[in-house]
Amino acid sequence: MSESKMEDPGGPQSEADVIKVILLGDSAVGKSKLIERYLMDDYNPRQDSTYALTLFRKNVELDDGTSAKVDFWDTAGQERFNSMHPSYYYQAHICILVFDVTRKQTYKQLSEWYRELREYCPEIPCILVANKIDVDYQVTKKNFKFASQHNLPFFFVSAADGTNVVKIFDEAIREGVQYKINGKTDFVTECLELFDDSPLTAANSGDSDGKDGHK
C-alpha cells in the first residue's frame, strides 16, 4: 500500500454485515475453549488465560442460504478487566453467558454478569450455557433457576467433548441475525452514535480525559 493511500484509507469504522457475538462469564469457565471447539472443531486441554479483548471471525452460512461474517469476542473473566467492557459490549448482537458446573461460584456470579450486560445492552438476546458437563453428566439432571428467572434459553455443553457446542453457536448466530434484522438498537449504542468525534481523536488532541471512549 502506498504512503498516499495510507494517508486516507477511507474505510468506515464498522462493518454493516457483521454479527457480533460476545461471551461473558467468570475466569476459567471455558469461554475461549468453547470458541476454539466451535471454530476448529478441536479441543486441547492445554489452557491459557485470555486478556483484554480477543476477536475471532468466521464466515457462516445462514438458514436462508446467504452468508454472514460473525465476530466472536472473547474477554478476560477477572473483574478488573471490566474497564474495557464498554468496548466489548458496543454494537453486540447476542451474548453467550457461560458458567462452570463444577464451580458453584461461577453460577452465583451470573447475576452480576447479567446485570452488567443489561446495563450496556438492555435488549440483545442472551443464551445461558452450563459448561464442563463432561466432568459429571449427572449434573444435567439438576435444575438451574437462573435461566427460568430471566427467561433465557439454557443449554448444557462441554467444550471438552463437543456436546451441544455447535448447537449453541448456531442458535446464537440465528438469534443475533434476528436481532440485527429487527433493527433494535440499544440505548447506549444510540447515545454513542450521537457523538461525531471519535473518542480517540479527542484523546489525541488532549481535549479528553480518555475515559469515555467506547469503540
Chain positions 95 to 134 lying near other proteins, rule: CB under 8 A, are: 105
Q: Which is nearer to other proteins, 12 or 141 (CB)?
A: 12
Cell numbers representing residue 162 in the block? 463437543
**Binding-residue pattern over the window 53 to 72 for other proteins, x denoting contact by CB under 8 A:** xxxxx-------------x-
- Parallel, antiparallel, or unpaired: how do β-strands 94-100 and 67-75 relate? unpaired
Instruction: Name the minimum Å distance from CB 37 to other proteins.
Output: 15
List 63, 64, 83, 181, residue binding other proteins (CB under 8 A): 83
Please compute Rg for the chain using Cα positions.
Answer: 18
Number of residues near other proteins (by CB under 8 A): 55
| Dist. CA 25–CA 30, nearest whole Å | 9
| Dist. CA 142–CA 147, nearest whole Å | 12
| Dist. CA 29–CA 7, nearest whole Å | 43
Residue 81 makes contact with other proteins by CB under 8 A: yes
Instruction: Name the minimum Å distance from CB 103 to other proteins.
Output: 9
Residue 36 makes contact with other proteins by CB under 8 A: no
